[in-house]
Chain A
Amino acid sequence: MLGLNPADWQAIEVTLKLCLYTTIFLLLIATPLAWWLSGKTSSLRVAIQAIVALPLVLPPTVLGFYLLMAMGPRGLLGSSLESIGLTHLAFSFEGILVASVLYSLPFAVQPLLESFNNLGRRPVEVASALGAGPVDRFFTVILPLCKGGYVIAATLTFAHTLGEFGVILMLGGSIPGETKVLSVLIYDYAQSMNYDAAHRLSLILLVFSFLVLFTVYGFSRRFQVVRV
C-alpha cells in the first residue's frame, strides 16, 4: 500500500507511538505546571517559565547533546538507572520519549497557561466554596471550561513531536523499530540518494500534519464559540 516497505511502516509505527505517548505524558505534566504558572507572579515563576520556553529558542542539538550526556551510561541519570539494575536511556525509545516530552514542553504549557489565565481563579473558588475538592474541581470546572486549550495543547504537542529530528538524531541515533522515526528515515533516504522513497514519506508527513492541524483548529474554533 502506498508503495511503502516494511521499514517505512516500522518507522511510522515508532513515530505514532512516540507522538501519542509524548502527548499523554505532557498533558499530565503540563496541567499542574501551567496551573502553578498561572498563579500570582513571583521571580521563581518567571524563572520556571523561561526554562519551560527554552526549547523554543535552543537548537535541538544543544538539548539533544545535554540529554545524551545526562542519560548516557556515564551521565548522572544513566548511571543511577544502571546502578539500580535498569539500563541507561541513550539510544532507546524511552530515551527519545523523555527528550520529546522536554522538547515539546512549551507547546503543551503555553496554550494551557493562556487558557488558565483566561479562566482566572474565580470559577475554581466558587466551586470550592460549593464543596468541590481539587479533583472534582478539575473535572467539573477546569476541564470543561478549558477544553479549547487542551485540544490545542494536545495537537501542537502531537504535531511538534511528529516533526522532531535534531534531538532524536543526537540522542536516539537511528535504530530501526526503536528510535528510527519518520523524519530520521527521510533523512537517511535523502542521504542515500533514494529520492523517491524520501518523497513518498515526506508527502505523507506533510498531508497528515496538515489534516491534523486543520481538523483540530476547526474543532477548537467551535469550542471557543460554545465557551460564551
Chain B
Amino acid sequence: MSLRIRAQLQRGAFNLLIDTALPTDGVTALFGRSGCGKTTLLRIIAGLERVRDAHVEFGDLCWQQDSHFVPTSARRIGLVFQEHSLLPHLSVKENLLYGYNRTPAELRRLHLEEVMQMLAIDSLQQQRIDQLSGGERQRISLGRALLTSPQLLLLDEPLSALDTQTKREIMPFLSRLALQAQVPIILITHSPDEVQRLANHVAFMAAGQITTVETLEQALARPDTPLFQDEGAAAILAGQLGPANEHGLRAFGSDQSRLWLQSPGNVTELPECGQSIRVRILARDVSVALDDPQRISMQNHLFVTIEHMHTIADQRVVLSLRLADGQLLLSEITNWSARRLELSPGQQVYALIKSVALIS
C-alpha cells in the first residue's frame, strides 16, 4: 500500500511539483529545509489545501482526482500540528473525545483509557488547557488524533516548537506510537535526529520537489546524505537489548556483532530485555585497527569488512564497514591514516567504537 500524490502549485516564486508514492508502512519522514514545501504537501494530503488538478490516492481510496474531492473531515486522518492546536474552549478530556465522538463506533480501534495510558496523560484530564506545558499539549494533540482511529497519521513537525528537554520526554512516546498504534505515519521534520530515531523510510524534499524516497538504511549508507548535515556521518544499528552483565553493561545486537552498552543514569527509562531498539554511532567515534587491540580501554571491537571509502572535505575519509550481521557502520578517519594503514575496499579490519547512543 502506498500514498500516491501528484500535484503542481505555483505561488509567487515558489513552485511545488510532486509526483510520488510514499510508503505507508511504519514511519515515513518527509525531510527538508524550512520553506521547501513540506507543509504544503502535507496540507494537500490532508485535504486542507485544494490544489487544482491534484491527484491524491491512499491505498485504494481516491481522495482527490479531477472534480472528486473528499473533504478533510471524511478522510479519517489524524493530524498533529507544530503547536497551539488544542481547542481552547474545551477541557482536556473534551479535546481528547472531540474526534472520538465523531468516529463511528464500529471504526473505533483505540479507546480513551489505553491512549491516555500510552501517552501518560491520565493525570491531566481535569486541567485547563492554558495550564498545560508545551510537551503535555503535544501529547494531548497526539492522543486526540489517535482517538479518531485514523488510517493515516500526519505529523507536521510535532516537536519543533518544544525545548530539548521536552523533546527528549516526548520522543519515546512517538517511537512507541509508531510500533503500537499500527497506523502509518508521515512525519514532517527538518531534524536529522528525529529521522534517525523514528523513521523507517525517508523522502527528501528540496525546492518544492521530492528528490529521493528510500529506506533509512539506504539513506544512511550514502555518506553525502542530508541526514548527516548536523552531527556528521552516523550509523543507526537496530537490534535487541540483552540482560546486564556483572559490570552493569547491557549486551546489544546479534552474537557476531555484539556491542556492550553502558546503562544511562536513569535506570527506569531503560528498555526491557528483548526489546528492539536503535542505537546511533557517530562515524567520528569509530576508529579502525588492522588487528584486534587487547590493551585498550574501549570495550567495543567489531570485526568488519570495508565496503566503500568515500573522501569528504578536510582531507577526511568515511569508511563504510559491513558488520557480520549485515548492518552498516561508518567510520570517519583522516586521509593520512587511511593511507598509512593502506586501507582498501574488501579488506577486513577491526572497528573500535568509542561511544554508542541509545536513541529509541
Interface set of A (CB-CB < 8 Å, partner B): 122-123, 125-133, 136, 140-141, 144-145, 227-228
- From 267 to 293 in chain B, residues with beta carbon under 8 angstroms from any chain A beta carbon are none
Interface string of B123-164 (1 = CB under 8 A from A): 000000110000000000000110010000000000000000
Smallest CB-CB separation from A141: which chain B residue?
B87
B72–A128 touching, CB < 8 Å:
yes
A129 in contact with B72 (CB, 8 Å): yes
Q: Which 9 A-B pairs have the closest CB atoms?
A: A130-B99, A131-B102, A129-B79, A128-B72, A128-B73, A144-B89, A228-B88, A126-B85, A130-B98
A129 touches B88 (CB 8 A): no
A-B pairs with beta carbons under 8 A, tally: 61
Closest partner residue, chain B, to A123 (CB atom): B87
**Complex: how many Å from CA A136 to CA B71?**
14
A131 partner, pick from B46, B48, B130, B148, beta carbons under 8 A: B148
Q: How far is the CA of A148 from the CA of B145 in the complex (A)?
A: 29
Please, which residues of chain B bring their CB within 8 A of the CB of A130? 73, 98-99, 102, 144-145, 148
Q: How large is the interface on B (under 10, 10 to 19, 20 to 34, 35 or more residues)?
A: 20 to 34
Does chain A have a CB within 8 A of B76? yes
Extra 13 A-B pairs, beta carbons < 8 Å, given A126-B85, A129-B73, A132-B98? A123-B85, A126-B79, A126-B81, A127-B98, A129-B46, A129-B145, A129-B148, A131-B73, A131-B103, A131-B148, A140-B98, A141-B87, A145-B88
B77 on the A face (CB < 8 A)? yes
A-B contacts, 18 listed (Cβ < 8 Å): A122-B84, A122-B85, A123-B85, A123-B87, A125-B79, A126-B87, A127-B73, A127-B98, A128-B71, A129-B48, A129-B79, A131-B73, A131-B99, A132-B98, A132-B102, A136-B102, A140-B98, A227-B89
The smallest beta-carbon distance between B215 and chain A, in angstroms, is: 28
Nearest B residue to A145 via CB reads B89
Q: In the assembled complex, which residues on chain B have CB atoms less than 8 Å from the CB atom of A128? A: 48, 71-73
CA of A129 to CA of B84 in the docked complex: distance in angstroms? 15
Most B Cβ at <10 Å: residue of A122, A128, A228: A128
Q: Does B223 contact A (CB under 8 A)?
A: no
A145 to B72, CA, bound (A): 21
Chain A proximity of B136: nearest CB distance (Å): 16
| Complex Cα gap A124–B272 (Å) | 42
Interface of A is mostly: helix
Q: Is residue B23 contacting chain A, with contact meaning CB distance below 8 A?
A: no
What residues of A have a CB within 8 angstroms of the CB of B98 in the complex? Answer: 127, 130, 132, 140
| Measured CA separation A141–B98 after assembly (Å) | 11
Taking the closest CB of chain A, its distance from the CB of B188, in whole angstroms, is 15
Please give me the residue from chain A that is nearest to B43 by CB atom: A125
Please indicate the chain A residues that have their CB under 8 angstroms from the CB of B144 in the complex. 130
Residues of A within 8 A of B84 (CB): 122
A126-B79 Cα distance, complex, nearest whole Å: 7
Q: Which residues of B64-100 have CB atoms within 8 Å of chain A's CB atoms?
A: 71-74, 76-79, 81, 84-85, 87-89, 98-99
Bound Cα distance from A137 to B102, whole angstroms? 12
> Do A133 and B130 have beta carbons less than 8 Å apart?
no
In the complex, the answer to whether B72 meets A125 with C-beta atoms within 8 Å is yes
B336 to chain A, nearest CB (A): 55
Give the Cβ gap from A125 to chain B, nearest Cβ, in Å: 5
CA distance A228 to B91 in the complex (A): 12
Which residues of chain B are within 8 angstroms of A126 by Cβ–Cβ distance? Answer: 79, 81, 85, 87
**Bound: A136/B48 CA distance, A:** 17
Most buried by B among A123, A125, A126, A227: A126
Q: Which residue of B lies closest to A120 (CB)?
A: B84
Q: What CA separation (Å) do A145 and B90 show in the bound complex?
A: 10
Given contacts A129-B78, A130-B102, contact A228 B129 (CB under 8 A): yes
Bound-state Cα–Cα, A227 to B145, Å:
24
Closest-CB distance, B309 to chain A (whole angstroms): 48
CA of A129 to CA of B73, assembled, Å: 5
Measured between beta carbons, the chain B residues less than 8 angstroms from A145 are 87-89
When distances are taken between beta carbons in the complex, the residues of chain A under 8 Å from B48 are 125, 128-129
What is the CB-to-nearest-CB distance from B150 to chain A, in angstroms, rounded to a whole number?
9
Q: Contact between B81 and A133 (Cβ–Cβ < 8 Å)?
A: no
Cα–Cα, bound, A45→B163 (Å): 40
Which residues of chain A are within 8 angstroms of B77 by Cβ–Cβ distance?
129
When distances are taken between beta carbons in the complex, the residues of chain B under 8 Å from A140 are 98
What is the 8 Å Cβ interface bit string for chain B, positions 234-268, against chain A (1 contact, 0 not)?
A: 00000000000000000000000000000000000
